[in-house]
Each structure stands twice: as structure tokens, then as C-alpha cells.
Structure 1
């Protein structure tokens, strides 16, 4: 058997550890991570390796050479572009003329490869996928097999709503060479996303082997520390190189010619590389020290990982700290709560480093400094800067002007030089400050800026879709987090940027590899005087002469948002009588949305009743979300508001149209609409060409998209569009609502730790196996005409439960039943 080692990843999430090393070469107990796996494969009998390279290939080539040091032959393949996992292996086809195993170079595992190989041989399958269970499967492909191990279903890198199991694809495959014939040449092609579905479509059986033992993808700094902790605590069957020396309170592995003074106290498991020097009276506890490193006298190092050629001064105290190569710490340096100190950093004496601080390469810290906020993004080191095309942070804490300028430079570096970008903001001074810093970074990359200044982002997204600008960025006070500012990134269609663009920005941001242009190529910045007029005219032209009953009376609360000047003019244009509330700017109010919302929900219904208005609108400050009050003064719940739009559209159109709604949308109108065809699916990450196939896209949070006008949620347009649709049937809101059959619908949120989400979804999937169920988004189980839907929250430790039943009693019974099951599944141990 031959072996293919995937060693081409960029290691973006584990920055700055991968500043000068590819991730597979990060030291784990003083050996490159991928060497541990390669040694296990040598023990299996592998004599020939193919190493697939991409990022910093010379580092891997120089270390492993021709493979003779390991007693094997090593071939190197360097694809000229990123062809995906399967596409990269295709490039090695000339070397793979027999059964071969594919492994990732950036994992630590103690799986018994002999068992996997034996299973593959027994099943005589062209592909065997090695499986394991993890608490958080979002970065992996999840898999379901039957009792024989045959693959039934899998999904690559799901969102929480798509998770149906905690059993994941480890990226360890055993394959027969003929499988490579199904992989096309020179195009991006992935194993889980492309090849495996193709093989299954052709009726080729794939098998999964659930391996026992330890497996960890070392994808971020926390995982890097955890894998060392697990090795040193004996949780991994991994051979630590070096001579074992027993001490009173622990064991010491001495590598090469390392010697430790007798006064050095050893606790737990300590690994010391060759040429290391440790001063008298120092304490080492569960720590790894790399070659040629010097540790001073009377130091305390607990749960630390020091790379090669590090210097630590006397009396320093470090805990849970990673220090990269060629870094120097002076005397009396303290980092007791988990720091990452990158390579070639110089820290002078008596410096205090706060919790979770990351110090990037080649930085200098003066004596006596307190390093408390150097690029601290809290938990985001575990994931990414982005959440759904946006970055959010506390002003002048996570989101400082310096960081905004770097973000602007990183974003600009992904765009063509000389291209044009829209920028806009709300009226909060913090948004203005961050935007100005961001724009400076953009200009430095040779990207031009058309600054819309204070401008609603739904309007900016409309302009993006209808002009030749390549992207747009909007800055606003966070709707959900007081004191935070959001930066929203949009593509040329006005849609949130996709994950590929997010990763490209992060790679440049973390490495600080910005494109810098000369003085004469610095980007231009212009302001647009007619953007608001263009947006307003577009709404008027889209709806003008269509409102057949121009005598509506409307009460609208603008919640002190950015539409304060524009919305009253639009209502006047359509001859709508209106009472407009909170149409002035207030920085204090827009940062306290819950209070604004509570006041609006109290006042608007009362004013609608008092003035005998036809409808009331509440438009959120950022212009995305809409709430509606009926002519009877009743608040229309979001789930009924979506049904209201469907009914109004059905009565207005004369030919069939399609609408897209979430899986959680009530189904009581299914089969009862004449001209509206309802499709249910995921609303995240929809491409522009798909959106344009629908007359309406709506969710259960008051967001409505009418692709005939714009591909983005726009509460202003949606409110006026609703008036137009209602005018066709001359029906009031209350009359339309009365046409909805009675039903019970409830959405509840229950707490669920992230570590339990995957297990919970597996249990729910198993519960659904014997019933009619849907797995489009979450797990939806049907009980005749009733149903219950369970979707893990994408970003928080919560689970969303939606239930629809004909009778309320049945709905509450289902909720209670599944609440009890969820509590049991979360608590039970496996």
C-alpha cells in the first residue's frame, strides 16, 4: 500500500503559528505534526509516500528530502492551482498504481490503520472512509451508514441547521487506483463534495469504518494546545521521542544531548529538545521545550509549548502559552492565562501579558508594558472574523481604527486594482470613525471608493446590483449588541460575500500580506450626490400607477433609523395618508433596540386604532426588517406576516409565480393558493441567479426580498409593495388574515451546549428514521398534518424548535415530549 499525505493547507485559522510554517509542519512534542502520522503508516508497511504540497512547499521538501531518513521513498506533487482535495490527488495519479491511503497532514490520531486496511480489504469497496464522532462537526463532513458500514448519506462542512449526526469524515481514505479515473483534470474537485456523490449516483457502494481512538484536527491555536495537553496526559497512544527519566512528581523525555539541572522541578510530563538549557530552580509542568531553547533561573512554565531557539529570561512565569521560534522574553515576564507569542518577537523585562493575547511576528514590547488588547478577538480565534458576511466588535476594543484599516487593506487586496467599491454608514459617530479608517486601508491597495456617506444599506445593495461596482461595505451600530459596530460586506449583486471571499480576506489580514501601491496608484474617493434620488425613483417606477386604491392611511414608526428623510416622501408620492413616528436621528436610541422595539409595539397599535388607519408599519433602524399592525390594531406575528404576504401576492398575480420560504414557515396555506407555488429551503448563501427565479423570498424575522426590485431584504420597499398587493384585491389586513385556517404555531429556543449539538442532531435523526422526515434544514418530523422542526443555532449555544399543529393541546404535547427527550440526550453519556 502507498500513502498520500495532504499537506497543502494555508492554516489561516491557526495564525500566527503558520506565519513561516505550513500547518502540517507545526511541531508536536518537537516533531512535525505530519511526521507522527507518517511513522504510523511506515509501521503499517507503507514504503512509498506522495506528499501533496501548496503553501510553503520548500519547508516540507527540505525537512523530509527523499524520505530515506524514515526508510521510505517520498514523491512530491505541487499542483499549480487549488484543485480541491480530490483534484490535488488526481495530480499524483502517475504514482498511484495500487491501493493507497489518503491522510491529512494536519491531524493527530492514534487510529489503528491496520484495522482500517483490514476492513477495506474485507468489504472490497473502491473507497473506505474512516469515521469518528466529534462534538462539533461544522468543519467536517458528516456521515450516516447502515449497520454494514455502507454510506447512506453525507454532507460536507454543514451549518448547524444541516447537522444530522456527530459522526464525521476524518479525511482518512483507503482507495483503489481506478477511483482516480472519475476525477476530472485541472478543475476544482473535492472528495466529499464532488467525488463521493458522483460515485454513489453511479451505484458504486462506499463504506465507512468507525475507528476507535483519538483523532483531532489541529485547526486553531486552542486545538494545538489541547492536542499537547492530551498527549502529555496520556490520552493519545503516541510515542514521545526521547529518553524517559522518572522524577518524583512526573516524567521527563530528554531528546538528543539535553541535560537538566537537579534543582529543576518536573511535574506531569515534560519534553525537552536537544541543546536545551534550563536554569537552576525552575519549575516545568506538562511542558514541551524545543531544540536550542534557553530557559532562565527560577522560572515557572506550566502547560507551555516553546519552539526552537526561544529565550526566556529569569523569574518569568508562563502558563498555557505558546512561544514560536527565535522569540526572546526578558526577565520577569508574566503570561498566566493563555498567550500566543509568534516568532521573532522581542519582549523586554517585567512585561505582563493578559488573557488570550496574541502577539504577532517580529513585534517589540518595551520593558514594563502591560499587553492587554493586541488583536484580541475573544472566541473568534476558534472560528473566524466573519459571521455570515459581517464582522462585529466592540468599538475601540476588538474593533479599533487600526484594525479597521488592516481590514480595509485586506479586503482591497482581494479586489482588482482600479476597481470601484461603494461604502455607506448609519449616522452613529462610531460607524463614521471605523468607516474612515477602513476606507484608508482600501485606498492604499489601489481600490477606488464611491462614498455614499450616511445611507441605508438596503439602498446601497440595490445600487450595487444595478451598477458596475465590484463590492460594497456598510458600517452600522449593531442591531443586537449595544456598544458593538457591524461591518457588512457585499458582492457585486448586493449579496453577503461568500465563505471563499471571507477566507481570502482573512488569509491576507492574518499574514499582513497587503497589496501596496505607489503614490500615483492610490485609490480615488468620490461622493455621490444622487444615490438617494436614484433609489427613490426606482421604487416609484417599480410601483407607480399600480396602487389601485390610493387612499390608504398608514401609521409608521421608523425607530430613529436611516430612512427618516426618505420614507415620508415615498408615502406622499403614493398619496398615502400617514402618521410617521420617530423620524429623527438619535445615537442613543439606535444603540438600544429592545427599548425602541418595545415602545413601537406599544404605541403603533394604539395609534392605528385611534386614527382608524388601514395598517401600521414598524421599520427597523437598519431598514431590513418589517413588522405589521393590522387595521384592527393587532400586531401580526412574524410567522403570520409571511403568510399574509403569500395571500396578498396570490390574489394580486394572474399567473403562477414561485416564492421561497424557510423550512420553518407554517404550511397551512399549502395547496390553498391558486397562483403562488411555495418552495421551502435554506435562505443562507443563495446565489443571485437562483434568487431571481422567485417573485418573493421571505423569512420568519420580517425580512422580505422582491427580486424584481432588489436581491436584498428591504423593509421600505416591502411595506409599499404590500400596499400595492393589497390594493389588487381591495382586501384589508384583517380580511386577509381571516382567510388563514386556524392552527397552532410555536417557536421556542432551548439551551444546548455546542459540544452536544452534533450528538443531539444524531439522536433526533435516529428518532426520525422510522417517520416521514425532512433534512433540508435541521430535522423536520411529520405526524400526519402536524410537524416539529429542530435546528441548532449557527452561532450560539441554542437549539430552535418550531412546531405546527392543528390543535394547541397537541402542539404543546409535542413540545413537552421533545423537550424531555432533548434534556435526556444532553445529559446521557456515551
Structure 2
């Protein structure tokens, strides 16, 4: 075999593994009483490789002290400790002096039984410069999805996708075989990642990247749940894993002794148990699929199931644990019960008779008093989240998942990303929970030295405009009730442009939150709050003046246009009446007051509002009606005949009016629409340059070049005013264009093609989404297709289907465009059948 070297990536912080990684680097977490990285090293040794480079960063001395120079494993280990965070590829570049031969890169925090000799053979056979190990997983969210052609050449990467971007279940395992000349493409300094930077660069340079599908077990041990699950998989023989130690058959299972341990004669072993050197298990205990670490003590009559006990743990008599992780140096008193799982970080003391009601975490060196009842309110949420953020916001149960102490920490995490003295604007809606949480969050901002401008109860559109229009503002935060779940709330974090945080910024907040790495300033630099009426009024005034400068109210007034607004009990009541009054627009306003009870049943009142406004428009002969949803970004349009426009009609109205306006001005307008928006009428809009794509793929300056950015339902942004949706401004613009061109809403759309366009939802288990999308992509490759946002596949020049996994629900979102309903429904029936068949398949 060609001489090879190996690189083990062992520098990660283990943020998602907290508190297991409080003082232990993630690669050193014990799997069956051996550091996870030791199994990776043994995989390398099995390939005949004896030169290994270990890349360090977080707590490097722990790894060095264990593996030393590698002589205990008959290998030579070279340690490289970069002087900064250089990213994944940049870290490997720091080891260039050791890598003058082909080398394989592996992560130190992965458990696998892959036969790695296969990827080495493939790499050599293809004369590849770089080969990526691939595999299929049920949940690809935390990994890079990879698309290859038949020869193994990689066509596309989707790095750590959302469910909306999952187009396959084939992912990047982080196993790379690399020729040394590839290192020349990596800059010697600065952060540079394999997936984010190096792979796109190589593809632009015309260097083929190959992918090889590895068969077998692979698990990235990235959070406490996966740490538990890898042990479960070993217990259940789901992978080829050699358990160290001496095996002793038992009546109901097998016992593995890793050294000298004392086990009382009447201890009952069910299925498997691994007992570490120096451990002591007293009489009457039952151990069912349990690992017990070095020098641990388990007292009489304990029942421990499906659990991992680390070293130097002391468990007193009569304790019951199921699905527990107990870290080093923990003491558990008599008769403690944790039937639904618990994680006890190092140094925790649990008093006798305590009960853990649900799967909870106790952080390091905490003391639980005797007879305590511990519930999940002491942790962030009732489950482990890979991130605080969902679709750019933080969502959780008020006063449970998002409690005051959690909010304060999020405030500290956000504030720590900004320079000391930065100005941050905060605001909220009327609900009591957002008011409470905002105050706690502001405390966290002040602790990091932020200067806080509190706009109190304010529409989010006003707050975002205030951020974007003032160069001295570095960010903002808005707190609001979750309209779909009255018991929950949302926290929205904005950057200096008034847009939701991009991925890199949200990840930085995540990291600071989970590691509790907060900047706490000296008392002389603690921030101040500005919340006086003059400042609040100034921000409202700026918002109003901008609207008035961009809307031609004269043409609306001269047309005598009349409109009905339903504000749906939301915070838009703070702005809509004043703007309509200032512009002297003839109007009727409904439900311009806060009603907590009605907001709790918004689905019912939405239907009622549509019916009420429709009847008012018809009865009074108004020109249109508009529903503005409670937080002021969404709207529904009702035409002069009282007809509620559907989603496609709403977008067509805006496009046709913009086309008329562009034609009158003798120019073309630029429009950005979603990938899945209908396109059969594009040719009808002669004066629109329509581009489809993903909003986040454009820079701020690129977005500002568009005249209209719209969703499929016609809720839109006008970049001349804002880059985000503002229902009030969009409604005023709609009224201006109707008045200016003397046209009725009901007259629009008569010249456009009428065709079939419909959105569907197909139920799909979360863990089957990747498999289904991979199958759909295989079908698409024989036709014209696109993988922007999801998978869009054309049957011909007109008929197409778009499939995207829903980010929050166990379903696939499907859009179909067709010549007619019969064709569209036949397409849906056909592809729905294929999807359901794939879901049922075990392959």
C-alpha cells in the first residue's frame, strides 16, 4: 500500500455536549471506559498507518497526557496546536510540515465500523486529489449533504442544511483522503473550512472532488443524546465493536471486566455490563446494559439500567437510574430515583430521597438538597436542541423553556458578540410574557456593556426600520407572543440592517450561550437604558416620515379611494390609524385594540375577519379591504367585489401593478420571487425582470437592487423602504398603484394565463426526509431539475413539481404547476405514491 499518514481532528469545543465536556475535550469522552479518540486511533492503526498528526485546540493537555507520544499504541504522534481558530481546513494547513505524503483525515469524536481501506483503494484507483467519505443517515441536518454523479464525482454540496434544504440523505462524514498538494490551496492564516471554503474553491479551479460511499455504522457523537445512543447501539450489537476486557458469561447476559473489580455474588447482570478497574458493586444490585467506570462504587440494592457511570462515582444504597449519564466524582445519596433519565455533570452531589421527574441536566459542582424534586425547568428546554434558533428566531414555552434566567443568558450571549458600548434597540408586543422576558434579556445586554434603547411596546416593523435607518445601531431584539401557541413566545435577533441574524452570527450566539462564555464588563462600563418618550417618539416619527415621503398620498386622495383595515387585535394599532390619518386616506378600521383572549384563538377570528371585511367592502362600495396580522408583517387582500384573494391571486396583483408602473415609467423593474413560485405568467409581465432564488443567497447591496421582493402569497417587501416585509407599507403601495393607474383590483388578472398551481403537504417522518429527497433527486437527474431550496423537477416546459422538507413539521411541502387541474392532480398522485412507497421502504 502507498505510504500514508493520518490526521485526527481533536480541537473542537464540544459546545453541544455540555456539560459532559465541561473539563473534558469531546474526543476524550469515554465510550465503554475508553476515550472515543482511542477507537479512531485504532482504526488508523488497522490501515497500517503509524504516523499520526493530532490537531489540538480545546484543553490540549488532556489529550497529550493520555496519548503521549503514541508509543503505547506503536505509532508516532505529532501534536499541532494552532495559535487561533483556523477552521477545519486551516487547522490541517497548520500541520503542513508533517504532511508531505497522502493522508487521511478523521474526526476524533466519531464512532464507526467503516472499512476505511476501501476509500483508500478508491482514492488511488481514481487518481483523485481529494476524496470525501460519504454515507447515508436518517437525519442529515447537522452534516453536509452531498450530490455525486455515477462515477463518484461530487456535483454539489449543501453544508449543514435546514429541513427545507435536504435534497438527499447522503452526507459528508468528515473523512477525507487528501494529496499533499491540496494544502497549497489553503491560506496559511485565517479561518478556512473544508466544506465552506476549500471545496468551493477547488470546484472553481476545476479540480475534481470525488466521493466514496462507505457502508456500515457511523455516528457523530455531537450531543448528549447521541452519546447515550452510541452506547445503546453497542449494547444492541448494531455495529461491529470490540468491547475491551475479559468477558464472563452470566445467567441473563454477559459481564466484561476491565481490570480488577469487586462484584458481590448476588449481583444480577442482564444483557451487558462493563465494569472498570477498581470498581465495587455491592449485593442485591441489578445492572442492565450499564457501563461502570474506574473506582466507582455502587451500593446495595441499586437498579441501574441503560446508563453510563464514569469514574470515581459514589452511589449509595437503593438508587434507581434509567438512561442516566453520571460524570466523574458525582455522589448520589440513598434512594434517589431517576426513572426518566438524568445527566449529572462532574462533582454534583445529590441528597438522599431526591427524585428527578423528567430527563434533566444538573451542571457541574451543584448540590441537590435531600428530598428535592428536580424537574426540567432547571435546564434549557425539555430536550437537547442543536441550536437556540429556528428559522432565525428563538422559540420556547414562556417561563419554562424561555425563563428569565435563560433570557438573561441569551442577552449576555448576544451582547458579547458586539463591541462594548454598542447601541442595541429592543421592543416587544403587548403580551405579558414578552414584557417580562425582555426585561431579563436587557439585564444580560447591560452586563456586557451594551447601550440599550427600549422602544417598549412597538410594532416590529418600526423597530426594524429604526435599526436599519441609523448607522449607530449595531443590532436589535424583538419579543413577541407565538400566535400559533399562546403558551410560547419568540425572540427575534436582528443585525445592523434590521434583518434576522445570518447563520454565522446565530452560531456565535449559540456557542456563547451553551458554553456560558459571556463578557461581563467592569462596573464603570455597565450599559445604560434609554427609554424616554422623546426617543420613542423620534423613532416613530422617522418611520412615519419615511412612509409619507415614499407614498404618493395625493394621487390616493384624488382618486377618492376607500379602504377597510382589520388590525386583528395586534400591535399595528400603534401605526396604521395615524398613517392613514396623516395621509388623509378615507378608511374604516376594525379591531384596533389588544385582546389577549382573541389572539389565543386567532384561527377562528381570522376567518371571521375575512368574512366581516368582505361584507363591509361589498355593502359600502369600498375599493379594497386589508387584514393586517397582529405583528404587522403579513396581510390578506380583499378586492372591490368582496372576494378574498388567494395566494396566487395576491402575488399576481402585485406583479401586474408593478408591470403597469414600470411600463408607464419606461423602464424595467427587478423582482425577486421564491424558487417555488409559479412561472407560467412570467412572459406576461413585459416590464419585469423576474429572478428566483433564496433570499439569504443575496448580499444587502444585491437585495437593494430589487424593486420588489415577494413571497408566493403576495406578502412583500419594497427595498426602497425596507428589505423585510411591512404589511402597512405594502398596502399603501398597493393603494397608490391602484389609484395612480385608475384600476380596480377586480379588473386585474384578466389577461394572465389561468393554470393549475397548488401547494400540498405529504406526511413524512422526520428521519425519513433525507431518504425520500435522495430518491426524488435520483428521479430528477433524468430530467431538467434544480436544487435551490428543495428539488424542482420539470416534466416539460410547463409542468413541474417542487419538493421541500418542512423545517418544523413531519411533512414534505410540495408545489405543483401544471397546464390544468387534471394534469396537476395526476402528477401529485404519481409522485405522492412514490414518496409514500419510499417512506414505507426499509431500504
Q: TM-score scaled to structure 1, two decimals?
A: 0.97
2:768 to 729, 748, 756: 756
Identify the residue that residue 655 of structure 2 maps to in structure 1.
646
Identify the residue that residue 710 of structure 2 maps to in structure 1.
698
Pair 1:710 & 2:722 matched: yes
The alpha-carbon distance between structure 1 residues 7 and 367, as it changes in their structure 2 partners (threshold 3 A), is same
Pair 1:74 & 2:80 matched: no
2:398 to 395, 399, 409: 395
Alpha-carbon distance between aligned partners in 1 of 2:291 and 2:84, rounded to the nearest angstrom = 36
Identify the residue that residue 205 of structure 1 maps to in structure 2.
208
Measured against aligned partners, the alpha-carbon deviations of 1:660-702 in whole angstroms (never above 9, x if no partner) come to 1111111122122122111111234754233212111111245
CA contact (8 A) 1:791 1:801 kept: yes
Identify the residue that residue 262 of structure 2 maps to in structure 1.
259
The alpha-carbon distance between structure 1 residues 8 and 546, as it changes in their structure 2 partners (threshold 3 A), is farther
CA contact (8 A) 2:684 2:752 kept: no
CA contact (8 A) 1:145 1:152 kept: yes
CA contact (8 A) 1:625 1:702 kept: no
Alpha-carbon distance between aligned partners in 2 of 1:625 and 1:352, rounded to the nearest angstrom = 46
CA contact (8 A) 2:628 2:635 kept: yes
Greater alpha carbon shift after TM alignment, 275-284 vs 231-240: 231-240
Identify the residue that residue 186 of structure 1 maps to in structure 2.
189
Pair 1:330 & 2:333 matched: yes
2:758 to 741, 746, 769: 746
Alpha-carbon distance between aligned partners in 2 of 1:546 and 1:113, rounded to the nearest angstrom = 73
Identify the residue that residue 161 of structure 1 maps to in structure 2.
164
| Post-superposition offset of 1:248 | 1.0
CA contact (8 A) 1:142 1:155 kept: yes
- Tell me the secondary structure at the aligned position of residue 21 of structure 2: coil
Alpha-carbon distance between aligned partners in 2 of 1:787 and 1:375, rounded to the nearest angstrom = 49
Q: Which runs of 5+ in 1 are unaligned?
A: none
Identify the residue that residue 384 of structure 1 maps to in structure 2.
387
Map residues 715-730 of structure 1 onto 2, 5 A cutoff. Answer: 715-730=727-742
Map residues 266-665 of structure 1 onto 2, 5 A cutoff. Answer: 266-378=269-381, 380-467=383-470, 468-527=472-531, 528-530=535-537, 531-544=539-552, 547=555, 549-653=558-662, 654=665, 655-665=667-677
Alpha-carbon distance between aligned partners in 1 of 2:107 and 2:61, rounded to the nearest angstrom = 18
The alpha-carbon distance between structure 1 residues 495 and 469, as it changes in their structure 2 partners (threshold 3 A), is same
- Tell me the secondary structure at the aligned position of residue 829 of structure 1: coil
Pair 1:672 & 2:675 matched: no
- Tell me the secondary structure at the aligned position of residue 44 of structure 2: helix
Greater alpha carbon shift after TM alignment, 497-506 vs 85-94: 497-506
| Post-superposition offset of 1:327 | 1.4
Greater alpha carbon shift after TM alignment, 449-458 vs 794-803: 794-803
Alpha-carbon distance between aligned partners in 2 of 1:756 and 1:324, rounded to the nearest angstrom = 34
- Tell me the secondary structure at the aligned position of residue 470 of structure 1: strand
RMSD: 1.6
Alpha-carbon distance between aligned partners in 2 of 1:735 and 1:109, rounded to the nearest angstrom = 64
Q: TM-score scaled to structure 2, two decimals?
A: 0.96
Identify the residue that residue 223 of structure 1 maps to in structure 2.
226
| Post-superposition offset of 1:368 | 0.7
CA contact (8 A) 1:464 1:471 kept: yes
The alpha-carbon distance between structure 1 residues 288 and 84, as it changes in their structure 2 partners (threshold 3 A), is same
CA contact (8 A) 2:12 2:26 kept: yes
| Post-superposition offset of 1:738 | 2.2
- Tell me the secondary structure at the aligned position of residue 824 of structure 1: helix
| Post-superposition offset of 1:587 | 2.0
| Post-superposition offset of 1:195 | 2.1
Alpha-carbon distance between aligned partners in 1 of 2:57 and 2:498, rounded to the nearest angstrom = 33
- Tell me the secondary structure at the aligned position of residue 580 of structure 1: strand
| Post-superposition offset of 1:546 | 6.5
| Post-superposition offset of 1:727 | 2.7
CA contact (8 A) 1:473 1:488 kept: yes
CA contact (8 A) 1:356 1:378 kept: no
Alpha-carbon distance between aligned partners in 2 of 1:599 and 1:341, rounded to the nearest angstrom = 51
Measured against aligned partners, the alpha-carbon deviations of 1:281-333 in whole angstroms (never above 9, x if no partner) come to 11111111111211111101100011111111110000001111111111111
CA contact (8 A) 1:668 1:740 kept: no
Pair 1:96 & 2:99 matched: yes
Map residues 31-110 of structure 1 onto 2, 5 A cutoff. Answer: 31-110=34-113
Identify the residue that residue 233 of structure 1 maps to in structure 2.
236
| Post-superposition offset of 1:136 | 1.2
CA contact (8 A) 2:377 2:400 kept: no
Alpha-carbon distance between aligned partners in 1 of 2:74 and 2:554, rounded to the nearest angstrom = 79
CA contact (8 A) 1:425 1:432 kept: yes
| Post-superposition offset of 1:550 | 4.3
Alpha-carbon distance between aligned partners in 1 of 2:435 and 2:751, rounded to the nearest angstrom = 47
- Tell me the secondary structure at the aligned position of residue 79 of structure 2: strand
| Post-superposition offset of 1:108 | 0.3
Alpha-carbon distance between aligned partners in 2 of 1:169 and 1:546, rounded to the nearest angstrom = 59
Alpha-carbon distance between aligned partners in 2 of 1:379 and 1:783, rounded to the nearest angstrom = 45
Alpha-carbon distance between aligned partners in 2 of 1:539 and 1:340, rounded to the nearest angstrom = 54
| Post-superposition offset of 1:194 | 2.5
The alpha-carbon distance between structure 1 residues 153 and 52, as it changes in their structure 2 partners (threshold 3 A), is same
Measured against aligned partners, the alpha-carbon deviations of 1:365-405 in whole angstroms (never above 9, x if no partner) come to 11111111244445651422211221111122212122212
- Tell me the secondary structure at the aligned position of residue 598 of structure 1: helix
| Post-superposition offset of 1:802 | 0.6
Alpha-carbon distance between aligned partners in 1 of 2:518 and 2:200, rounded to the nearest angstrom = 38
Alpha-carbon distance between aligned partners in 1 of 2:430 and 2:713, rounded to the nearest angstrom = 24
Measured against aligned partners, the alpha-carbon deviations of 1:102-131 in whole angstroms (never above 9, x if no partner) come to 001111001112222222222221112111
CA contact (8 A) 2:203 2:209 kept: yes
- Tell me the secondary structure at the aligned position of residue 594 of structure 1: helix
The alpha-carbon distance between structure 1 residues 322 and 501, as it changes in their structure 2 partners (threshold 3 A), is same
Identify the residue that residue 824 of structure 1 maps to in structure 2.
837
2:823 to 806, 810, 814: 810
Measured against aligned partners, the alpha-carbon deviations of 1:393-430 in whole angstroms (never above 9, x if no partner) come to 11222121222122222222222111111010011111
Measured against aligned partners, the alpha-carbon deviations of 1:783-812 in whole angstroms (never above 9, x if no partner) come to 221111111111221100111112111111
| Post-superposition offset of 1:542 | 1.7
| Post-superposition offset of 1:725 | 2.2
- Tell me the secondary structure at the aligned position of residue 560 of structure 1: coil
- Tell me the secondary structure at the aligned position of residue 79 of structure 1: coil
Q: Which runs of 5+ in 2 are unaligned?
A: none
Greater alpha carbon shift after TM alignment, 466-475 vs 159-168: 159-168
CA contact (8 A) 2:552 2:736 kept: no
Aligned length: 830
Alpha-carbon distance between aligned partners in 2 of 1:351 and 1:807, rounded to the nearest angstrom = 66
The alpha-carbon distance between structure 1 residues 805 and 374, as it changes in their structure 2 partners (threshold 3 A), is same
CA contact (8 A) 2:672 2:709 kept: yes
- Tell me the secondary structure at the aligned position of residue 85 of structure 1: helix
2:806 to 793, 813, 821: 793
Alpha-carbon distance between aligned partners in 1 of 2:309 and 2:739, rounded to the nearest angstrom = 72
